[in-house]
Amino acid sequence: MKFIIFNLADGSQKPCDLANLSRSLSPNCEIVRIIGNKHEAIGYVSHSLLVHFAVEFADYALQNYLKKMLPEAQTCIDLTRKWLQNHNSVSVDQLKEAADAAYNAAYAASAAYAAAYATHAAYAAAHAASAASAASAAADAAAYAAYASAAANADKNRLNEQNRQGTFILKFFEVE
């Protein structure tokens, strides 16, 4: 399956396949699927949606690839999900504090792949208060979480994990 990511802010286009879909997204982009000579719009990706993808990928990796649970990472994920439901329910300082705790716990446990990148979702949410860095933080969070999930599963099959992420995105937009 082939896609084009249209950046609505600058008009640029980026081709990708299903395995690279999760790492190709940016804020204010449109996902378009290429079917033969036709183009089918899949959906619009906002800053909050990138944070959503990042936290879901990080949670999946945390639940499925770590041998030891890290409560700090789960707290970070839960707080970021709370922020996604209501941006005013969690302060920037709370998000940053949770992200720092999750990162430190992951680093200490040598579990950097899955848990540490949960912090990027929280940082992206925290940066939403600053318009200048929000888009960059969200894109970084999604990319890091996608990479983390794939890297954590590298010993099994990285390509399968990347395809799982792409399929998750398509299912989010209810595309088969």
Q: What pairs with residue 32 in β-bridges?
A: 4, 41
Tokens 């010993």, residue? Answer: 155
What pLDDT is recorded for position 32? 97
From the list 117, 172, 164, 126, the residue with the least C-alpha distance to 145 is: 117
Report if pTM > 0.95: no
Q: Does the pLDDT value for residue 13 go beyond 70?
A: yes
* Residue 86 · residue 94 · CB < 8 Å: no
Per-residue pLDDT averaged across 150-165, rounded?
Answer: 70
Task: Give me 146's structure tokens.
Answer: 């996608």
Annotated domain spans of the chain: 2-46, 47-166
What pLDDT is recorded for position 135? 46
35 or 59, which is more confident: 35
Residue 38's pLDDT band, with cuts at 50, 70 and 90, is very high
Burial class for 132, CB neighbours closer than 10 Å (0-12, 13-18, 19+) = exposed
Q: Does the pLDDT value for residue 136 go beyond 70?
A: no
What pLDDT is recorded for position 72? 82
What pLDDT is recorded for position 87? 82
From the list 59, 58, 70, 62, the residue with the least C-alpha distance to 145 is: 58
What pLDDT is recorded for position 119? 62
In whole angstroms, what is the distance from residue 44 CA to residue 109 CA? 37
In whole angstroms, what is the distance from residue 147 CA to residue 134 CA? 20
pLDDT tens-digit profile of 40-79? 999 999 888 888 888 888 788 777 777 777 788 788 888 8
Radius of gyration, alpha carbons of the chain: 16
3-state secondary structure of 34: strand
pLDDT tens-digit profile of 93-114? 787 787 777 777 766 665 555 5
Residue 166's pLDDT band, with cuts at 50, 70 and 90, is very high
29 or 162, which is more confident: 29
